Amino acid sequence: MTSPQAACLRAALQVGYHLLDRGGSALIAVEHTIRVLERSGLFNAGNGAHLQLDGVRRMDASLMEGDGLRAGAVASIEGIVHPITAARMVMEVTEHVLLVGPMATKFAKHHKMESQKRQAARRILSYGSMLTRMHKPKNRHGTVGAVALDQSGTVSAGASTGGIDLMLPGRVGDTPIIGCGVYADNETGAVAMTGWGESIIRLAVAKEICERLRQGKAPVLVVREVFRRLVDKVHGSAGALVLTPNGRFAMAHVTPHMAAGWWDGKGEPVVRDRFR
């Protein structure tokens, strides 16, 4: 895979791996990997997040650590470059898991997080045409995510998104919902999701994958089982990154494409746009 997005994915993998190689935590590696993608403007997250129906860019992100099940998330946050860091701050400096809307934005600004440059709205659609456009979206994703395993045996997962292009203001997908868009548990593994958020929420897919990993099955088999149910039960579409505490991993999707990659520090990072 050769494209600006692929090059950015490779750079992000290198940032995350080097942090782990120096003894850094999986949580920080996941955060900084995602920060590279948010800053790039090449994905539907951070600087590249889609605009909602009213021309406003609202973003969601979450982060979870498998040791102690610590988690933080933000939803419908506006005007910052790195929602994933806002999610980490929610986890580390509050007693909460999820902050939403204007108060999440105020929280981020209070902690002096980098702001985005203002951009004019591209267009506003009527409510009726928006409903038509929103019906079971297929190619309007681009959520970024990462999973990591550190030297202490702790797994972490994170994700960041701008949602669906021109979606109804107030809509929140799976990304900031712990157990749906992300989950991490040192007893089972770490999962980060992308795809049609409404279908992922209905099956709480990230948690479902982790619970099936508890049975000792290979990650690739577990993802196939869960995705089969996702498609059969709710006609859903999704992609997943899965990593277990013993280093087994899977990347799979039931969407036309899912650009993703991995790196173990040897050779060059591996990046593809399709997985089984």
Q: Which amino acid is at 111?
A: H
Q: What is the reported pLDDT for 273?
A: 85
Write out the two tokens for 191. 């999962």
Q: Say if residue 120 is exposed, middle or buried (CB neighbours under 10 Å; 0-12, 13-18, 19+).
A: exposed
Q: What is the reported pLDDT for 274?
A: 81
Report how far apart, in Å, the C-alpha atoms of 196 and of each of 54, 60, 67, 220, 230 are.
21, 14, 29, 20, 11
CB 87, CB 108: distance < 8 Å: no
Bridge pairing between strands 58-65 and 155-161: antiparallel
22-36, 124-138, 249-263, range with the lowest pLDDT: 124-138
Average pLDDT, the chain: 90
Q: What is the reported pLDDT for 1?
A: 62
Q: How far apart are CA 70 and CA 17, in angstroms?
A: 22
* More confident site: 117 or 18: 18
| Distance, C-alpha 137 to centroid of its chain | 18
If you average pLDDT over residues 234-263, what whole number do you get? Answer: 94
CB 195, CB 237: distance < 8 Å: yes
Q: Is 175 a catalytic residue?
A: no
Q: What is the reported pLDDT for 124?
A: 38
Q: What is the reported pLDDT for 99?
A: 98
Report whether pLDDT(189) > 90. Answer: yes
Q: How far apart are CA 214 and CA 169, in angstroms?
A: 38
Q: What is the reported pLDDT for 119?
A: 54
If you average pLDDT over residues 64-87, what whole number do you get? Answer: 97
Q: What is the reported pLDDT for 275?
A: 77
Share above pLDDT 70 across residues of the chain, in percent, rounded to a whole number = 90
Q: What is the reported pLDDT for 255?
A: 87
* More confident site: 55 or 139: 55
Q: Which amino acid is at 229?
A: R
Report whether pLDDT(200) > 90. Answer: yes
Report how far apart, in Å, the C-alpha atoms of 125 and of each of 48, 70, 166 are.
20, 40, 8
Report whether pLDDT(195) > 90. Answer: yes
Q: 3-class SS at 221?
A: helix
Q: What is the pLDDT of residues 158-180, one digit of tens each?
A: 999 999 877 889 999 999 999 99
Selecting among 85, 105, 143, 161, the annotated active-site residue is 143
Report whether pLDDT(129) > 70. Answer: no
Report whether pLDDT(231) > 80. Answer: yes
Q: Say if residue 239 is exposed, middle or buried (CB neighbours under 10 Å; 0-12, 13-18, 19+).
A: buried
If you average pLDDT over residues 32-51, what whole number do you get? Answer: 96
Residue 73 backbone class (left: φ over 0; alpha: ψ -120 to 50; beta: rest): beta
* Helix (H) or strand (E) run with residue 60 in it: strand 58-65
Pick the CATH number of 4-272 from 3.60.20.30, 1.10.3470.10, 3.55.50.30, 3.40.50.300: 3.60.20.30
- In the beta sheet, which residues pair with residue 193? 240
Q: What is the reported pLDDT for 138?
A: 42
